[in-house]
Structure 1
Amino acid sequence: MNAPRPVTAFIGLGANLGDAVAALHAACTALEALPDTTLVACSRLYRSAPVGVTGQPDYVNAVAQVRTPLSAESLLTAMMRIEADHGRHRAYPMAPRTLDLDLLLYGDARIDRPHLHVPHPRMHLRAFVLVPLAELAPELEIPGAGRVADLLPAVADQAIEPLSELT
């Protein structure tokens, strides 16, 4: 039996509770520790205001690029385990988070299942995703949305501040 072919995936990282910077560093380490998975790159850290809610602390965000033989579903399961290991509780939609990992892209796959939507349905509308993603792969094509670099002007009015290098 042949081993699954590795796929390049992009993962959004965010946190706005506790030591968010440490949580993102630890999440990248945990992603790299997944079976046969390589952490290709991590963007720098960015600070952004929560979208769609008020009264929450700002987020720290980044994007990680991995190369993995895990299926999209297995990768998502592993990401949820990493979140749980960092104290993530899903108390209600849009709740503050100790760690949030979103599967943004899985190769050029389009996946539409109740628990998994790839490409992430709102990624092309969010500066906190597009800006760090453009740092890693500006020419990348988001299926159904367009090239990352071409999508940046539409989110230019969203406040996002670079903090530091992640790795």
Structure 2
Amino acid sequence: MYIKRKLNESLITFKGLRFGVKLREKSSHRYRVTVGIGGNVGDVKRRFEHLYMFLKRDKRVELLETSLILKNPPFGFVAQDDFLNSIIVLKVSMQPLAFLEYLHRVEKKFARKRSFANAPRTLDLDIIFFENRVIKTPRLTIPHESWSKRESVTIPLMDIKR
């Protein structure tokens, strides 16, 4: 069950038992990583719940925090359903490129298919921050490009920073 709050005509937030919560402060893993999660195909809230449980069971990561879930309109390719987005904060011991590969495997496990930029998707996982690192390579940019211009990131991020 989720508590729904309308921010304006196009933005709605949802808080629940697993989203909008702080879980742990300490971890044996080395790096703090902020990951944006999103999707707009199928039962996305249920998929987020399954992702939460998957991450809780996976010893390679430790789930520290989750933000509220934000329902927001798509950008780029706009002829598609609204997205649900959230932020999760993890601790990992993987280096950034290895963690990116890990996230791609998780997306695939949750039936993500890559067709074109900003296409509808079951699950999208983006590294927003990885510790305080700045990385610019053809495969990976950290912090995530244009994170500060996207409500789908900034509103859930503000929820975590409270």
CA distance in 2, matches of 1:5, 1:27: 19
Aligned to 1:32: 56
CA distance in 2, matches of 1:34, 1:112: 28
C-alpha contact 1:15 1:97 (8 A) present in aligned 2: yes
User: Aligned-pair distance for 1:31?
Assistant: 3.0
User: Aligned-pair distance for 1:35?
Assistant: 3.4
Indicate whether 1:10 and 2:34 are aligned.
yes
State the superposition RMSD in angstroms: 1.6
Give the TM-score of the pair, scaled to structure 1: 0.76
CA distance in 1, matches of 2:112, 2:29: 31
User: Aligned-pair distance for 1:33?
Assistant: 3.6
Indicate whether 1:71 and 2:90 are aligned.
no
Shift of the 35–111 alpha-carbon distance from structure 1 to 2, 3 Å rule, reads: farther
Indicate whether 1:81 and 2:105 are aligned.
yes
Give the TM-score of the pair, scaled to structure 2: 0.78
Aligned to 1:131: 155
Superposed structure 1 runs of 4+ greater than 6 Å apart: none
C-alpha contact 2:86 2:153 (8 A) present in aligned 1: yes
Aligned to 2:69: 45
CA distance in 1, matches of 2:107, 2:155: 23
CA distance in 2, matches of 1:36, 1:83: 16
Shift of the 36–54 alpha-carbon distance from structure 1 to 2, 3 Å rule, reads: closer
C-alpha contact 1:45 1:61 (8 A) present in aligned 2: yes
Counterpart secondary structure, 2:157? helix
CA distance in 1, matches of 2:137, 2:53: 28
Deviation string 1:16-54 (CA, Å, 9 cap, x unpaired) is 001111112222333334434210010111100001222
Aligned to 1:113: 137
Aligned to 2:81: 57
CA distance in 2, matches of 1:20, 1:114: 29
Q: 2:119 aligns with which of 95, 102, 108?
A: 95
Where do 5+ consecutive residues of structure 2 fail to align?
Answer: 1-27
Counterpart secondary structure, 2:85? strand
Where do 5+ consecutive residues of structure 1 fail to align?
Answer: 139-167
